[in-house]
Amino acid sequence: MTDHNQKENQSSLPHSVWPAQALGQLEISAADGLGITLFELMQRAGGAAFEHIHRRWPAARHWLILCGHGNNGGDGYIVARLAQAAGLTVTLLACEGNKALPEEAQAARDAWLAAGGLIHAADALWPAQVEVIVDALLGTGLNRPAQAPYDGLIVKANRHHAPVFAVDIPSGLQAATGSACGEVMQAAETLTFIALKPGLLTGKARDYVGKLHYHALGLAPWLATQLAPMARYDAQSLSRWLKPRRATSHKGDNGRLLIIGGDHGTAGAIRMAGEAALRAGAGLVRVLTHQTNIAPLLTARPELMVQDLNGQTLDDGLEWADVIVIGPGLGQGEWGKKALKKVENSQKPMLWDADALNLLAISPDKRQNRVITPHPGEAARLLNVKTAEIESDRLHAAQRLVKRYGGVVVLKGAGTIIASEQGDIAFADVGNAGMASGGMGDVLSGIIGALSGQKLSLYDAACAGCVVHGAAADARAARYGMRGMLATDLLSELYLFVNPEISNTKA
């Protein structure tokens, strides 16, 4: 193992994310900054991939390596040469192109041939005994569906029983967006190099990436001097926002949160938001709701202060509150519209969700003191586009939303994106498919509102809230599985993540 491999942990993901269009220049600048060639970087990438595969599947004696006509294929040629030198059986299929290979990939191909390696055509028959498939077909430069013969190889690999290891990114997945508009390789594991790309963290990434690993290829010291334009946050990030409380702190120090919603028949939404806020550390939570919801909410959670929503209680609540959350169970009738109209005049920090967003889509406005938390369907209504357009480029959608509506945007989904009007962008790298059930958004609204009341900026509260929310779901899924997870199941998990000094000790 080379020195640069010894110093780096493949399984540790960085908290920086770079746009796909910047990766080529980033690689060149890094190589120049450290006085190494691009071919040396390719050799490091191929070496890191070989070592990872060999360690992960030590019993696999026959490797099938699929190489494309680009630098990703160059990595594959290096993997093939190292595997053959280690005494493994290697079958390599290559897609030939009309243009010459890039210089570094050509050098890797020549080295493979010089070592006695064979190159088979893309349509060659596959060996009967393949134990691992190495995907080095298409890299981060892809911006359209995979074409023939690539698409056929992807389909065949996905149908094969052998596990697929993706070099840098699964072929067919777009690095800029996570979009999967054609055939995409279904990887068991992916090892990405130098920088994390958005397409590995959002969009359809989780359907195809498998277990994600990272290797800086010896560039970690240089990368540490660069300011990444986007961030990745996970449970280990929580201590940056959530500090231990002062021993003398009191409930007034921890925020007075007003939550408005819960029209007739929707007590559940407002109750989940209110209880989540309490569990996330809010000092005081006042709920303004339909009068029929008062007794059930007080019975279920007596720590909430619950009142009938009317003109007087709303005026009093807006005056009293440090932070406002409106939307869970609000409805789109006159009752909800009147409340939202009055809330609009407040300059206090606030969060709009659910029906507040549906009403906002009808009467758009822009403000700096607000977080909006749309799921893709709500985002589509806010931008007057199809939901598919939101999902095809979630990053761009979040940027469009914040440009139109201001403040902070939380675009929910697999790979939640948080964006601010100041240009901050982050990915919440937590959560799981068990969260695809009713009420999860109400819980998130309560968490973010509570954290905003605890002296966090709206952007930081949104980032921390998304991480707490997803990490709690991950903890629940680790014990009981994802299917059947309820939004209220997360409430008992929140303690651990809003107190990171405890969770870090337990970890």
Scan for tokens 């607000």, then name that residue.
370
CATH class of 3-228: alpha beta
The full set of domain ranges for the chain reads 3-228, 247-506
Tell me the per-residue pLDDT of 283-333, one tens digit each, with 9 for 90 and over. Answer: 999 999 999 999 999 999 999 999 999 999 999 999 999 999 999 999 999
Whether the per-residue pLDDT at 383 is higher than 70: the answer is yes
| pLDDT greater at residue 375 or residue 245 | 375
Q: How far from the centroid of its chain's Cα atoms is residue 219's Cα?
A: 24
Q: Which one, of 27, 48, 46, lies nearest residue 38 by Cα?
A: 27
| pLDDT greater at residue 145 or residue 449 | 449
How would you classify the pairing of strands 230-233 and 16-17?
antiparallel
DSSP assignment letter at 196: B
Q: Which one, of 193, 187, 184, 233, lies nearest residue 213 by Cα?
A: 193
DSSP assignment letter at 238: G
Q: Which one, of 254, 53, 31, 255, lies nearest residue 134 by Cα?
A: 53
- Which pLDDT band holds residue 141 (cuts at 50, 70, 90)? confident
Go through 339-351 and write b for each residue having 16 or more CB atoms within 10 A of its CB, e for each that does not: bbeebbebeebbb
CA dist 134 to 1, 44, 194, 347, Å?
20, 16, 19, 55
pLDDT more than 70, % of the chain = 97
| Residue 343 one-letter amino acid | V
CA distance 5 to 16: 20
Average pLDDT over residues 451-470: 98
Average pLDDT over residues 398-427: 97
Contact 137, 153 (CB under 8 A): yes
Q: How far from the centroid of its chain's Cα atoms is residue 38's Cα?
A: 30
Q: What is the pTM of this model?
A: 0.94
Contact 89, 60 (CB under 8 A): no
Angle at 124 between CA 123 and CA 128, to 5 degrees: 130
Average pLDDT over residues 380-407: 97
Specify the pLDDT at position 421. Answer: 96
Contact 160, 132 (CB under 8 A): no
CA distance 333 to 355: 10
Q: Tokens for 386, please give them.
A: 């199809």
| pLDDT greater at residue 338 or residue 506 | 338
* Angle, helices 23-34/38-56, rounded to nearest 10 degrees: 100
Contact 426, 417 (CB under 8 A): yes
The CATH number assigned to the domain with range 247-506 reads 3.40.1190.20
Tell me the per-residue pLDDT of 88-115, one tens digit each, with 9 for 90 and over. Answer: 999 999 998 889 999 999 999 999 999 9
Tell me the per-residue pLDDT of 341-371, one tens digit each, with 9 for 90 and over. Answer: 999 999 999 999 999 999 999 999 999 999 9
